[in-house]
Structure 1
Amino acid sequence: MEVEIKTWLADIKQAITEINLFLPDKKDFYAFQRDLKTKRAIERNIEIIGEAVNRIIKAYPEIPITNARKIIDTRNRIIHGYDSVSEDIIWAIVVRELGNLETEVDKLLKK
């Protein structure tokens, strides 16, 4: 695997790790809603994930990343449509989707 791909995958892994560190204990949505710094930190890491996925699929479209287009679209929405980003959507991504992405990234990094 190319060095640049491993770098981008490592960036995704690091962003997921940071999101998990920032999350309130017991993944409490209401605590998340009340904590502006945590929301912004998580949004920033989702931006990083989206940008890394975008670079990977542009350079190597054969690399399988589930929901790659949705990940990129979410990044774009946070950056360009920041005023329309829903806390509910961000929360759903974090609690439902990041674990699957982390598993995929771990498998790809082992190749």
Structure 2
Amino acid sequence: MTIDEASRRYNIPLEMLREYERWGLCKAVKKVMGSWQYDDTDLERLGLIMTLHDIGFASSEIETYMKLLLEKEGSEDQRLRILDQKRRILLGEIHSCEKRLSHLDYLRYNIRKNQDKKQTV
């Protein structure tokens, strides 16, 4: 499958596919008639890259994670530390959003309470 076909079929931006190639993560990908040919393994890796991106990983973090995955046997502990750190960050963001939501709900409650008072008068 060519880069254009992979991009269209799996809705992966071309920029991400090109970055994947630049990182050297597609060593097993064969070059045929001037274009990369992706196999199922490459597409699985791209799926993981997309997942990491969706989680909020920066490109440099994705590159580090993927190189650990592909180049270092026994890198599970390192990758788990990276995921744990990202999880802590996301939990902090969730907590912050919940706090803001609570403030927003409080303001909405006050407005409705005042509206109810005006209607009963």
> Shared fold by TM > 0.5?
no
Q: Which has the higher strand share?
A: 2
Say which structure is richer in helix. Answer: 1
What TM-score do the two structures reach when normalised by structure 1?
0.30
Query: Who wins on radius of gyration, i.e. which is larger?
Result: 2
- State the structure with bigger RCO (CA 8 A, min sep 6), 1 or 2: 1
